[in-house]
Amino acid sequence: MLDLDSVSVSYGTLNVLNSVSMSFQKGELVCIIGSNGMGKSTLLKTIMGFVHPRQGKIVLSGHDISQSEPHEVVELGVSMVPEGRHVFPGMTVRQNLIVASNIPRAKNQRQRNMERVLSFFPALKEKMDSLAGNLSGGQQQMLSVARALMQEPDVILLDEPSLGLSPIAIRGVYEALKAIRKSRPEIVIILVEQNAKIALENSDRGYVLEFGKVALSGASDELRKNALLREKYLGIETT
Protein backbone atom coordinates (compact mmCIF):
# COMPACT_ATOMS: atom_id res chain seq x y z
CA MET A 1 0.00 0.00 0.00
CA LEU A 2 2.82 2.39 0.92
CA ASP A 3 6.34 1.82 -0.34
CA LEU A 4 9.59 3.74 0.08
CA ASP A 5 12.22 2.86 -2.50
CA SER A 6 15.82 4.01 -1.79
CA VAL A 7 14.69 7.31 -0.26
CA SER A 8 17.44 9.79 0.65
CA VAL A 9 16.82 13.14 2.36
CA SER A 10 19.21 15.97 3.17
CA TYR A 11 18.98 19.24 5.08
CA GLY A 12 21.50 21.31 3.19
CA THR A 13 24.73 19.33 3.27
CA LEU A 14 23.54 17.10 6.13
CA ASN A 15 22.37 13.66 4.98
CA VAL A 16 19.54 12.50 7.25
CA LEU A 17 18.08 9.51 5.39
CA ASN A 18 20.29 7.34 3.21
CA SER A 19 18.68 5.02 0.66
CA VAL A 20 15.86 3.92 2.96
CA SER A 21 13.51 1.25 1.62
CA MET A 22 10.40 0.20 3.54
CA SER A 23 7.03 -1.34 2.77
CA PHE A 24 3.75 -1.04 4.69
CA GLN A 25 0.68 -3.18 3.98
CA LYS A 26 -3.00 -2.78 4.83
CA GLY A 27 -3.87 -3.63 8.41
CA GLU A 28 -0.33 -3.40 9.79
CA LEU A 29 0.97 -1.46 12.76
CA VAL A 30 4.66 -0.95 12.04
CA CYS A 31 7.04 0.75 14.46
CA ILE A 32 10.15 2.76 13.61
CA ILE A 33 12.64 2.79 16.47
CA GLY A 34 16.12 4.17 17.02
CA SER A 35 18.05 6.70 19.06
CA ASN A 36 17.51 10.45 18.80
CA GLY A 37 18.81 12.04 15.61
CA MET A 38 18.68 8.88 13.51
CA GLY A 39 16.05 10.16 11.05
CA LYS A 40 12.81 8.78 12.48
CA SER A 41 10.82 12.02 12.49
CA THR A 42 12.32 13.06 9.16
CA LEU A 43 11.02 9.81 7.70
CA LEU A 44 7.45 10.69 8.69
CA LYS A 45 7.81 14.27 7.48
CA THR A 46 9.04 12.96 4.13
CA ILE A 47 6.06 10.62 3.72
CA MET A 48 3.79 13.53 4.67
CA GLY A 49 5.32 15.89 2.12
CA PHE A 50 6.87 18.42 4.51
CA VAL A 51 10.27 17.33 3.19
CA HIS A 52 10.97 16.03 -0.31
CA PRO A 53 13.56 13.32 -1.03
CA ARG A 54 16.58 14.18 -3.13
CA GLN A 55 16.63 10.59 -4.35
CA GLY A 56 14.25 7.67 -4.34
CA LYS A 57 10.51 7.30 -4.59
CA ILE A 58 7.48 7.09 -2.30
CA VAL A 59 4.41 5.33 -3.71
CA LEU A 60 0.98 5.28 -2.02
CA SER A 61 -1.60 2.94 -3.57
CA GLY A 62 -0.02 3.40 -6.99
CA HIS A 63 0.43 7.19 -6.67
CA ASP A 64 3.95 8.62 -6.66
CA ILE A 65 3.82 11.13 -3.77
CA SER A 66 7.56 11.81 -3.61
CA GLN A 67 7.13 15.49 -4.55
CA SER A 68 3.57 16.00 -3.30
CA GLU A 69 2.65 18.76 -0.86
CA PRO A 70 1.15 17.93 2.55
CA HIS A 71 -2.43 18.90 1.61
CA GLU A 72 -2.22 16.60 -1.41
CA VAL A 73 -0.92 13.72 0.73
CA VAL A 74 -3.77 14.23 3.23
CA GLU A 75 -6.33 14.13 0.43
CA LEU A 76 -4.83 10.85 -0.78
CA GLY A 77 -5.42 9.34 2.65
CA VAL A 78 -2.42 9.98 4.92
CA SER A 79 -2.76 11.80 8.26
CA MET A 80 -0.09 12.64 10.81
CA VAL A 81 -0.09 12.99 14.59
CA PRO A 82 2.98 15.16 15.14
CA GLU A 83 5.28 15.08 18.12
CA GLY A 84 4.20 17.52 20.81
CA ARG A 85 0.39 17.16 20.66
CA HIS A 86 -0.33 20.02 18.23
CA VAL A 87 -3.93 21.05 18.85
CA PHE A 88 -5.61 24.45 18.62
CA PRO A 89 -5.54 25.47 22.33
CA GLY A 90 -7.97 28.38 21.97
CA MET A 91 -10.64 26.21 20.33
CA THR A 92 -12.91 23.67 21.96
CA VAL A 93 -12.47 19.93 21.50
CA ARG A 94 -15.51 19.93 19.22
CA GLN A 95 -14.11 22.76 17.08
CA ASN A 96 -10.75 20.99 16.80
CA LEU A 97 -12.47 17.87 15.47
CA ILE A 98 -14.68 19.79 13.03
CA VAL A 99 -11.76 21.80 11.62
CA ALA A 100 -9.75 18.61 11.07
CA SER A 101 -12.55 17.16 8.94
CA ASN A 102 -12.78 20.16 6.60
CA ILE A 103 -11.24 18.34 3.65
CA PRO A 104 -13.17 16.93 0.68
CA ARG A 105 -12.55 13.25 1.48
CA ALA A 106 -13.83 13.60 5.06
CA LYS A 107 -16.60 16.24 5.08
CA ASN A 108 -19.42 13.87 4.20
CA GLN A 109 -18.34 11.42 6.91
CA ARG A 110 -17.95 14.02 9.67
CA GLN A 111 -20.78 12.88 11.94
CA ARG A 112 -19.92 9.20 11.59
CA ASN A 113 -16.26 9.85 12.27
CA MET A 114 -17.11 12.09 15.23
CA GLU A 115 -19.07 9.27 16.84
CA ARG A 116 -16.31 6.81 16.03
CA VAL A 117 -13.45 8.82 17.55
CA LEU A 118 -15.46 9.52 20.70
CA SER A 119 -15.98 5.79 21.09
CA PHE A 120 -12.19 5.39 20.94
CA PHE A 121 -11.61 8.26 23.37
CA PRO A 122 -14.58 8.44 25.77
CA ALA A 123 -12.70 10.92 27.97
CA LEU A 124 -13.06 13.49 25.17
CA LYS A 125 -16.84 13.07 25.07
CA GLU A 126 -17.08 14.81 28.45
CA LYS A 127 -14.79 17.62 27.25
CA MET A 128 -16.39 18.54 23.92
CA ASP A 129 -17.03 22.16 24.94
CA SER A 130 -13.78 22.58 26.87
CA LEU A 131 -10.84 24.47 25.40
CA ALA A 132 -8.19 22.12 24.08
CA GLY A 133 -5.55 24.14 25.92
CA ASN A 134 -7.16 23.22 29.24
CA LEU A 135 -6.92 19.47 28.67
CA SER A 136 -4.32 17.28 30.36
CA GLY A 137 -1.33 16.10 28.33
CA GLY A 138 -2.90 12.68 27.85
CA GLN A 139 -6.21 14.18 26.74
CA GLN A 140 -4.43 16.47 24.28
CA GLN A 141 -2.65 13.46 22.80
CA MET A 142 -6.00 11.68 22.47
CA LEU A 143 -7.40 14.77 20.74
CA SER A 144 -4.41 14.90 18.40
CA VAL A 145 -5.02 11.28 17.34
CA ALA A 146 -8.76 11.92 17.07
CA ARG A 147 -8.13 14.93 14.79
CA ALA A 148 -6.08 12.75 12.46
CA LEU A 149 -8.83 10.12 12.35
CA MET A 150 -11.41 12.78 11.45
CA GLN A 151 -9.59 13.09 8.10
CA GLU A 152 -10.70 9.58 7.08
CA PRO A 153 -7.12 8.30 6.64
CA ASP A 154 -5.97 5.03 5.14
CA VAL A 155 -2.54 5.60 6.70
CA ILE A 156 -1.88 7.31 10.03
CA LEU A 157 1.59 8.43 11.11
CA LEU A 158 2.27 8.81 14.84
CA ASP A 159 5.39 10.65 15.99
CA GLU A 160 6.37 9.85 19.60
CA PRO A 161 2.82 9.48 21.01
CA SER A 162 4.07 8.50 24.49
CA LEU A 163 6.48 11.43 24.87
CA GLY A 164 5.95 13.32 28.13
CA LEU A 165 2.90 11.31 29.21
CA SER A 166 2.24 9.49 32.46
CA PRO A 167 2.13 5.67 32.37
CA ILE A 168 -1.66 5.78 32.74
CA ALA A 169 -2.00 8.21 29.81
CA ILE A 170 0.34 6.10 27.67
CA ARG A 171 -1.74 3.02 28.39
CA GLY A 172 -4.87 4.94 27.39
CA VAL A 173 -3.38 5.98 24.04
CA TYR A 174 -2.27 2.45 23.18
CA GLU A 175 -5.59 0.94 24.25
CA ALA A 176 -7.22 3.38 21.83
CA LEU A 177 -4.90 2.24 19.04
CA LYS A 178 -6.08 -1.34 19.62
CA ALA A 179 -9.69 -0.18 19.36
CA ILE A 180 -8.93 1.75 16.17
CA ARG A 181 -7.40 -1.33 14.56
CA LYS A 182 -10.38 -3.45 15.57
CA SER A 183 -12.83 -0.93 14.12
CA ARG A 184 -10.80 -0.26 10.98
CA PRO A 185 -8.79 -3.44 10.32
CA GLU A 186 -7.54 -2.16 6.97
CA ILE A 187 -5.84 0.97 8.35
CA VAL A 188 -2.03 1.27 8.27
CA ILE A 189 -0.43 2.72 11.41
CA ILE A 190 3.21 3.80 11.28
CA LEU A 191 4.54 4.48 14.75
CA VAL A 192 7.74 6.33 15.61
CA GLU A 193 8.68 5.72 19.24
CA GLN A 194 11.67 6.48 21.41
CA ASN A 195 10.35 3.85 23.83
CA ALA A 196 11.37 0.69 21.96
CA LYS A 197 9.78 -1.63 24.52
CA ILE A 198 6.28 -0.23 24.20
CA ALA A 199 6.65 0.12 20.42
CA LEU A 200 7.58 -3.53 19.92
CA GLU A 201 4.92 -4.74 22.34
CA ASN A 202 2.19 -2.99 20.35
CA SER A 203 3.28 -3.51 16.73
CA ASP A 204 3.34 -6.27 14.12
CA ARG A 205 6.67 -5.39 12.53
CA GLY A 206 9.47 -2.96 13.10
CA TYR A 207 12.36 -1.14 11.49
CA VAL A 208 15.42 0.09 13.37
CA LEU A 209 16.99 3.26 11.98
CA GLU A 210 20.65 4.03 12.66
CA PHE A 211 22.34 7.05 11.11
CA GLY A 212 19.59 7.36 8.52
CA LYS A 213 19.75 3.75 7.37
CA VAL A 214 17.71 0.64 8.09
CA ALA A 215 19.89 -1.38 10.46
CA LEU A 216 17.35 -4.08 11.35
CA SER A 217 13.85 -5.07 10.35
CA GLY A 218 11.45 -7.91 11.01
CA ALA A 219 8.51 -9.12 13.06
CA SER A 220 8.30 -7.30 16.39
CA ASP A 221 8.45 -10.54 18.37
CA GLU A 222 11.68 -11.49 16.61
CA LEU A 223 13.21 -8.05 17.08
CA ARG A 224 12.53 -8.27 20.81
CA LYS A 225 14.69 -11.41 20.88
CA ASN A 226 17.58 -9.81 18.97
CA ALA A 227 20.60 -9.62 21.27
CA LEU A 228 21.94 -6.30 19.94
CA LEU A 229 18.55 -4.63 20.06
CA ARG A 230 17.79 -5.96 23.54
CA GLU A 231 21.00 -4.49 24.93
CA LYS A 232 21.02 -1.21 23.02
CA TYR A 233 17.34 -0.23 22.96
CA LEU A 234 15.57 -2.34 25.60
CA GLY A 235 18.22 -2.05 28.30
CA ILE A 236 18.46 -5.84 28.71
CA GLU A 237 21.97 -7.16 29.09
CA THR A 238 22.71 -10.36 27.19
CA THR A 239 25.19 -13.02 28.20
CATH number of the domain that residue 204 is part of = 3.40.50.300
- pLDDT of res. 236: 61
Instruction: Assess if residue 32 is contained within a domain.
Output: yes
pTM of the model: 0.93
Residue 238 covered by a domain = no
Query: How confident is the model at residue 235, as a pLDDT?
Result: 67
Which residue range forms the structural domain that includes residue 123? Answer: 2-232
pLDDT in the model for residue 84: 80
The answer to whether 224 and 33 have CB atoms below 8 angstroms apart is no
Q: What is the pLDDT of residue 230?
A: 83
The verdict on residue 172 lying in a domain is yes
pLDDT at 227: 85
Task: Give a yes or no: residue 237 inside a domain.
Answer: no
Residue 239: the pLDDT is 46
In a domain, 98, yes or no: yes
Q: Is residue 12 part of a domain?
A: yes
Averaged pLDDT in 10-residue chunks for the chain of 239 residues = 97 95 97 92 97 97 97 96 90 97 93 94 94 95 95 96 90 93 96 92 96 95 89 65
CA 11 to chain centre: 22
Does some domain include residue 223?
yes
The answer to whether position 239 is within a domain reads no
- Which H/E stretch holds residue 218? strand 213-219
Domain count along the chain: 1
Residue 186: strand, helix, or coil = coil
Task: Starting at the earlier edge strand, list the strands of the sheet with 188-193.
Answer: 78-81, 155-159, 188-193, 29-33, 205-210, 213-219
What distance lies between CA 172 and its chain's CA centroid? 16
Contact between residue 153 and residue 177 where contact means Cβ atoms under 8 Å apart: no
Distances (CA, A) of 31 to 63, 98, 222: 23, 29, 13
